[in-house]
Structure 1
Amino acid sequence: MKRKAACLATTIFMTLTATSPASHATGEPPARIRQTVDAVVRPIMTKNRIAGMAVGVVADGKPYVFNYGVASRATGRPVTANTLFELGSVSKTLTATLVSYAQASGRLSLSDKTGQYLPALRGHPFGEVPLVDLGTHTPGGLPLQVPDDIHDNAQLMRYLGAWRPTHAPGTYRTYSNISIGTLGLITAKSFGQDFATLMQGRLFPALGMTHTYINVPQAKMADYAQGYTKAGAPIRMAPGVLAAEAYGVKSTASDMLRFVRANMAMVPLEGKLQRAVLATHTGYFKAGPMTQDLIWEQYPYPVPLQSLLDGNSAAMVLHGAPVAPITPPQAPSAHAWINKTGSTNGFGAYVAFIPQKRMGIVILANKNFPMEERVSAAYRILTALAGDAR
Structure 2
Amino acid sequence: MSESAAIHGELPTESDVSALLERLAREYLVPGAQFAVRHRGEVRTFLHGVAARSSGEPVTADTLFPLGSTTKLVTATLLMQLVSDGDIELDAPIGPLLPELAEAPGPLRESTVRQLLSHTAGLPDMPATEHDPSLRACVAAGAGVELLSEPGRVFSYSNLGYTVAGRLLEAVTGLSWWDAARSFVLQPLGVPSGFLGAAPDAPGGLAGPAPQTAQHAVHLPTSSVHPVEEPGLPKALVPAGALVTSAAGLLRLSGPHHGADGPDVLEPELLEEMRRPATDAPLHGLAEGWGLGLAVHTDGAGRRWYGHDGNTGGATCALRFHPESGTAVALMTNATSGRQMGNQLFEELAALGWEIGRVPAPAGEEPLAGAALRAAADEVCGAYSSGGETVKVRAEADGRLVLDRPQLPPARLELHPGLTFRLRTEPEGARGDARHGSDESRDLYSFVRDSRTGRVGGMYLSGGRLQVREGTGRLG
TM-score (norm 2): 0.63
1:225 lines up with 2:219 in the alignment: no
Specify whether residues 44 and 142 from structure 1 end up closer, same or farther in structure 2 by C-alpha distance, changes over 3 A only: same
1:345 lines up with 2:313 in the alignment: yes
**Is 369-378 or 111-120 further displaced after alignment?**
369-378
Deviation at 1:110, TM superposition (A): 1.2
Residue 50 of structure 1 is matched in structure 2 by: 30
- On the 8 A contact 1:347/1:367 being kept in 2, the answer is yes
Deviation at 1:271, TM superposition (A): 6.3
Distance in 2 of aligned mates of 1:164 and 1:176: 13
SS in 1 for 2:296: strand
Residue 286 of structure 1 is matched in structure 2 by: 280
Deviation at 1:371, TM superposition (A): 3.0
SS in 1 for 2:147: coil
Deviations 1:222-242 (A, max 9, x none): 601111122412322523032
Residue 130 of structure 2 is matched in structure 1 by: 149
Distance in 2 of aligned mates of 1:252 and 1:141: 31
Distance in 1 of aligned mates of 2:20 and 2:77: 31
Deviations 1:324-379 (A, max 9, x none): xxxxxxxxxxx511121100001111000122232211000111215343134135
**Is 245-254 or 348-357 further displaced after alignment?**
348-357
- On the 8 A contact 1:350/1:364 being kept in 2, the answer is yes
Deviations 1:147-182 (A, max 9, x none): 353521354134212212132111111111111221
1:135 lines up with 2:117 in the alignment: yes
Residue 27 of structure 1 is matched in structure 2 by: none
1:174 lines up with 2:156 in the alignment: yes
Q: For 2:293, give the aligned amino acid.
A: I
Distance in 2 of aligned mates of 1:222 and 1:260: 20
Deviation at 1:40, TM superposition (A): 2.6
Specify whether residues 99 and 376 from structure 1 end up closer, same or farther in structure 2 by C-alpha distance, changes over 3 A only: farther
Residue 468 of structure 2 is matched in structure 1 by: none
- On the 8 A contact 1:141/1:172 being kept in 2, the answer is no
- On the 8 A contact 1:60/1:359 being kept in 2, the answer is yes
Instruction: Report the structure, 1 or 2, having the larger helix content.
Output: 1
1:100 lines up with 2:94 in the alignment: no
Q: For 2:245, give the aligned amino acid.
A: S
Residue 194 of structure 2 is matched in structure 1 by: 213
Task: Indicate the percent of aligned positions where both proteins have the same amino acid.
Answer: 19
- On the 8 A contact 2:129/2:138 being kept in 1, the answer is no
Distance in 1 of aligned mates of 2:301 and 2:210: 40
Distance in 2 of aligned mates of 1:89 and 1:63: 24
Deviations 1:190-218 (A, max 9, x none): 22211111112332111221x11233653
Deviation at 1:120, TM superposition (A): 1.9
SS in 1 for 2:22: helix
Deviation at 1:286, TM superposition (A): 2.1
Q: Any unmatched runs of 5+ in structure 2?
A: 1-9, 219-224, 356-476
1:163 lines up with 2:145 in the alignment: yes
1:186 lines up with 2:168 in the alignment: yes
Equivalent residue for 1:245, pick from 214, 239, 242 = 239
Residue 407 of structure 2 is matched in structure 1 by: none
Distance in 1 of aligned mates of 2:142 and 2:209: 35
1:363 lines up with 2:351 in the alignment: no
Q: For 1:88, give the aligned amino acid.
A: G
**Is 174-183 or 371-380 further displaced after alignment?**
371-380
Residue 374 of structure 1 is matched in structure 2 by: 342
Distance in 2 of aligned mates of 1:286 and 1:272: 26
SS in 1 for 2:232: coil
Q: Which has the larger radius of gyration?
A: 2
Deviations 1:282-304 (A, max 9, x none): 22112326121002111345457
Specify whether residues 80 and 336 from structure 1 end up closer, same or farther in structure 2 by C-alpha distance, changes over 3 A only: same
Specify whether residues 81 and 273 from structure 1 end up closer, same or farther in structure 2 by C-alpha distance, changes over 3 A only: farther
Deviation at 1:385, TM superposition (A): 6.2
- On the 8 A contact 2:257/2:271 being kept in 1, the answer is yes
User: Aligned pairs, how many?
Assistant: 326
Q: For 2:296, give the aligned amino acid.
A: Q
TM-score (norm 1): 0.76
Q: For 2:179, give the aligned amino acid.
A: T
